[in-house]
């Protein structure tokens, strides 16, 4: 049985990704900070914080062999504050989880994946869930934007470093997705979508992102690494 690690698996996008892999016969190990997580077949929930070294090690040890890593855990700033008022605490909070945590978990898993047997040129797949915020300025949550731009470079770096070992590293870049993270600002995004922000004029669903991650990691695209899949209803298009 193949094994997948999915961070942020307790809710939203991470949960949809965990379900997708579990339904397709993977044993999935999911981590979020809350004490109790979801329960379903082929899924093991581990409570922990990916910004914490010992918790990352515990997650990887529990999984044993790792065929797929999906970095989906992420946080928005606790308070949306203007760029001129952003605190160091809020900056560190976003960077520690969204960028540093994902980097060092990827590093740990990559070393483990190198022990995997190479089958048809592949030892494993790594995919990170970044955001349109990697390239879109939002001056009331700049720390989130910086952390996601950093995560995109984490993808590129590991894609470069691990290509020769048969480990493709790619990125899915969600747009506006209906989850706990966006529920607090639902009215704002309802209005923007109704006003024509997105070529595909609807909220994205966690399953839309899970489908993209699954396609990148299921073996159907082995000659692709360092790729960004915009899964955003066309938000990234420049329109006139």
Exactly one of 44, 72, 99, 106 binds ligand NAP (CB under 6 A); that residue is 72
What's the rounded Cα separation, in Å, for the pair 69 and 11? Answer: 17
Is there binding between residue 70 and ligand NAP (CB under 6 A)? no
When the beta carbons of 123 and 214 are compared against ligand NAP, the nearer one is 214
Is there binding between residue 177 and ligand NAP (CB under 6 A)? yes
Q: Exposure string (b/e) for 117-152, b if CB count within 10 Å is 16 or more?
A: eeeeebbbbbbbbbbbbbeeeeeebbbbbbbbbbbb
Is there binding between residue 33 and ligand NAP (CB under 6 A)? yes
Size of the site for ligand NAP (CB under 6 A): 29
Would you call 165 a catalytic residue per the annotation? no
Residue with tokens 């910086």: 146
The enclosing H or E element of 228 equals: strand 228-231
Exactly one of 3, 27, 44, 51 binds ligand NAP (CB under 6 A); that residue is 51
Is there binding between residue 3 and ligand NAP (CB under 6 A)? no
Exactly one of 6, 66, 95, 176 binds ligand NAP (CB under 6 A); that residue is 176
Window 92-121: residues binding ligand NAP (CB under 6 A): 97, 101
27 has which bridge partners?
A: 3
Indicate which residue of 144, 165, 189, 223 is catalytic.
144
| CA angle, residues 130, 133, 139, in degrees to nearest 5 | 150
The enclosing H or E element of 173 equals: strand 169-174
Q: Is 230 helix (H, G, I), strand (E, B) or coil?
A: strand
User: Which residues are known catalytic residues?
Assistant: 144
Interface residue list for ligand NAP (CB under 6 A): 7-8, 10-14, 31-34, 49-51, 72-75, 97, 101, 129, 131, 174, 176-177, 179-182
């Amino acid at each position: 049985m193949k094994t997948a690690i999915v961070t942020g698996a307790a809710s939203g996008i991470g949960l949809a990704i965990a379900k997708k892999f579990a339904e397709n016969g993977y044993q999935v190990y999911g981590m979020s900070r809350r004490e109790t997580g979801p329960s379903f077949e082929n899924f093991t929930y581990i409570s922990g914080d990916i910004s914490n070294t010992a918790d990352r090690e515990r997650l990887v040890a529990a999984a044993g062999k790792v065929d797929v890593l999906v970095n989906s855990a992420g946080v928005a700033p606790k308070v949306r504050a203007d760029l001129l008022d952003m605190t160091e605490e809020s900056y560190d909070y976003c960077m520690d989880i969204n960028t540093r945590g994902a980097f060092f978990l990827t590093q740990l898993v990559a070393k483990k994946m190198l022990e995997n047997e190479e089958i048809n040129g592949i030892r494993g797949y790594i995919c990170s869930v970044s955001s349109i915020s990697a390239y879109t300025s939002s001056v009331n949550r700049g720390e989130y934007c910086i952390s996601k731009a950093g995560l995109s470079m984490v993808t590129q770096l590991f894609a470069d470093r691990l290509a020769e070992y048969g480990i493709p590293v790619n990125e899915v870049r969600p747009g506006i997705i209906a989850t706990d993270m966006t529920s607090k600002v639902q009215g704002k995004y309802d209005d923007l979508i109704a006003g024509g922000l997105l070529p595909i004029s609807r909220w994205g669903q966690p399953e839309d992102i899970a489908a993209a991650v699954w396609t990148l990691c299921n073996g159907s695209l082995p000659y692709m690494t360092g790729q960004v899949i915009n899964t955003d209803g066309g938000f990234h298009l420049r329109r006139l």
